[in-house]
Amino acid sequence: GPKVLQIPSHQIIDMGQMVTLNCDPVSNHLYFYWYKQILGQQMEFLVNFYNGKVMEKSKLFKDQFSVERPDGSYFTLKIQPTALEDSAVYFCASSPTGDTQYFGPGTRLLVL
């Protein structure tokens, strides 16, 4: 089936540094999403992105977070600066029409 890739699979950084999580969505998909899952807790929606714009974001999407997809390349989630509570697995998803979403394998972020 369609595959979403995420790079890197793991990232360890010091608190206060910037991190960029990369998502390679399924080609020809138009809707993109980021979700966050803290260890042992449920998956939570962060943001969705369509036509070059953020369409909706949750209260978890802090001011330190930003997303973009320059020139149809990776869909990125940038956190600057990072905080300890940002440690989690971040899942990217894409969808052709906004119904069925296809998820990547996740990036495990550890902020020290």
Partner 1 sequence: GQQVQQSPSSLVLQEGENAELQCNFSSTATQLQWFYQSPGGSLVSLLSNPSGTKHTGRLTSTTVTKERRSSLHISSSQTTDSGTYLCAIDLDTGYQNFYFGKGTSLTVIP
Site residues, partner 1 (CB under 8 A): 31, 33, 35, 37, 41-45, 48, 50, 55-56, 58, 89, 91, 93, 95, 98-103, 105-106, 108
Q: Are strands 10-13 and 107-111 parallel, antiparallel or unpaired?
A: parallel
Report in angstroms how near the CB of residue 38 gets to partner 1 at its nearest: 12
Q: How far is CA 44 from CA 27, 28, 52, 57, 71, in A?
A: 24, 25, 22, 11, 27
Query: Based on CB atoms, which residue is closest to partner 1, 1 or 14?
Result: 1
Query: Based on CB atoms, which residue is closest to partner 1, 18 or 110?
Result: 110
Query: Based on CB atoms, which residue is closest to partner 1, 65 or 103?
Result: 103
